[in-house]
Amino acid sequence: MARHILVLLSFCAALAGCASAPAAERRPIAWDGLGQDPNRPAVTKRRLPNHTAPESDPNGERQRVLATLRPYSDAWWAVQDEIEAENDKQLGSKLVICRSCVTQPPREDVTGSIR
């Protein structure tokens, strides 16, 4: 019985040694081209001190007014529409789509006929 336990312990020790690689040895990882390359060293961004005042939330006051109004009333919907319009405006300013990335539809009507 002791022999079986000794064999089992040595087998487990051998597996544990094979499963862990030394920390100094770093092999490249296969990369499929999507996302960030895991083989490239991480680039840390240095934060520069921000001397400008932090941008105030333009919807902050609207949110406070919205909380005081009766839900789904005409005034509530008006404020809600203003909030959504401001959010769309902010998203539109952050979203950049290059003109060459968007394909233009063909100028003439193209059908799939065999003629």
The pLDDT tens digits of the residues spanning 59-106 come to 899 999 999 999 999 999 999 999 999 999 888 888 777 766 666 666
Q: What is the pLDDT of residue 51?
A: 54
Q: What is the pTM of this model?
A: 0.40
Beta-carbon contacts of residue 70 (< 8 Å; ≥ 6 apart)? 76
Q: Computed from CA positions of residues 34, 38, 40, 41, in that sequence, does the dihedral angle turn out positive or negative?
A: positive
Return the HEC string of 40-101. Answer: CCCCCCCCCCCCCCCCCCCCHHHHHHHHHCCCCCHHHHHHHHHHHHHHHHHHHHHCCCCCCC
Q: What is the pLDDT of residue 48?
A: 61
Q: How many CB atoms lie within 10 A of CB 76?
A: 16
**Position 86, amino acid:** E
- For residues 66 and 79, the answer to whether their CB atoms sit within 8 Å is yes
